[in-house]
Structure 1
Amino acid sequence: MSSGLAPTLIPNPVAIWHGAIENISERASPCRYLTPTQWSAMRESALDFCDRLGADAHRLGWTAQQLFGVHPEHGTLRVDYCGALMIAGNRVQGVDADRIMFERTAARRDKPGQVWGAPIWEFKAKGD
């Protein structure tokens, strides 16, 4: 047997994102000002994004905060802290280095001075 280093498991960020969103019930909004109906649509769009475009987003350097971030106290009410997928719940059409494209709009991550909140699953864990 070789005395080389044992292989290490490298976590798959997209699987972590997907699992974390999936673990938040679609019927129980994680944020006080986000209705369960709005959350259900947002959750479904986020899971779809992970399945279809998550690997591309990760390869392009998108982070959990830039995609799923929410304000640490006010959740989705403060959209200026929200990640691209935590604003409207629309299905993503495409992803590139600085934009997430929706059917009629885009979310950008290259705004000077942008502050991102923690991923919504961390907000949920703290209890709203």
Structure 2
Amino acid sequence: MLLPELVPDPLPPEAAEWRKAFGALRPNSSPCRYLGPTAWANIHEACTDFIERFGAEAVQLGWTAPQLFGVHPQHGTLRIDWCGVMITGGNKAIGSEPNRILFGNVSGYRDTPGAPTGIPIWEYAAKR
């Protein structure tokens, strides 16, 4: 039996970095001023779940950290038009595709023409 620290990580390096960066954010302390604690706890749980279940597939499909976990560089989640698909609703994903993340009867898309791209929420939190 391998020791836990010797077991290879099943996630590709990009998704492993997402997990590490997201893991440094506390689920009970919102990184964005106007994002309430309950909403943040739901988003944190949904993002953590997404990384573990769909992170490898998302990397393979070409999703980036800002497309998934982005927020506005100065205003955080207050500017929802800058937010990545995993930040907008706080719902757990049920699947990923080349241009959308599935949330049951709702989807989040990355190919919306003219949509701005934010920075990963952990970078925003580090600036505060």
Do both share a fold (TM > 0.5)? yes
- Find the counterpart in structure 2 of residue 40 from structure 1: 41
1:32 aligned partner, one-letter code: R
Superposition deviation, residue 115 in structure 1: 1.1
> How far apart in 1 are the matches of 2:90 and 2:117?
18
- Find the counterpart in structure 2 of residue 90 from structure 1: 91
Larger radius of gyration between Structure 1 and Structure 2 = 1
Query: SS of 1:86's equivalent?
Result: coil
Find out whether 1:64 has 2:59 as its counterpart. Answer: no
Superposition deviation, residue 104 in structure 1: 2.0
Structure 2 unaligned residues grouped into runs of 5+: 1-11
Query: SS of 2:117's equivalent?
Result: coil
- Find the counterpart in structure 2 of residue 50 from structure 1: 51
- Find the counterpart in structure 2 of residue 4 from structure 1: none
Find out whether 1:12 has 2:13 as its counterpart. Answer: yes
Superposition deviation, residue 19 in structure 1: 1.1
Find out whether 1:74 has 2:72 as its counterpart. Answer: no
Query: SS of 1:100's equivalent?
Result: strand
Superposition deviation, residue 77 in structure 1: 1.3
> Deviations for 1:10-53, whole angstroms, at most 9, x for unmatched residues?
x7010110111110111110000101111111001001000000
Query: SS of 1:56's equivalent?
Result: helix
Name the count of aligned residue pairs: 117
Superposition deviation, residue 74 in structure 1: 1.2
Structure 1 unaligned residues grouped into runs of 5+: 1-10
Give the TM-score normalised by the residue count of structure 2: 0.89
> Deviations for 1:70-92, whole angstroms, at most 9, x for unmatched residues?
01111111110000001111000
> How far apart in 1 are the matches of 2:83 and 2:100?
14
- Find the counterpart in structure 2 of residue 26 from structure 1: 27
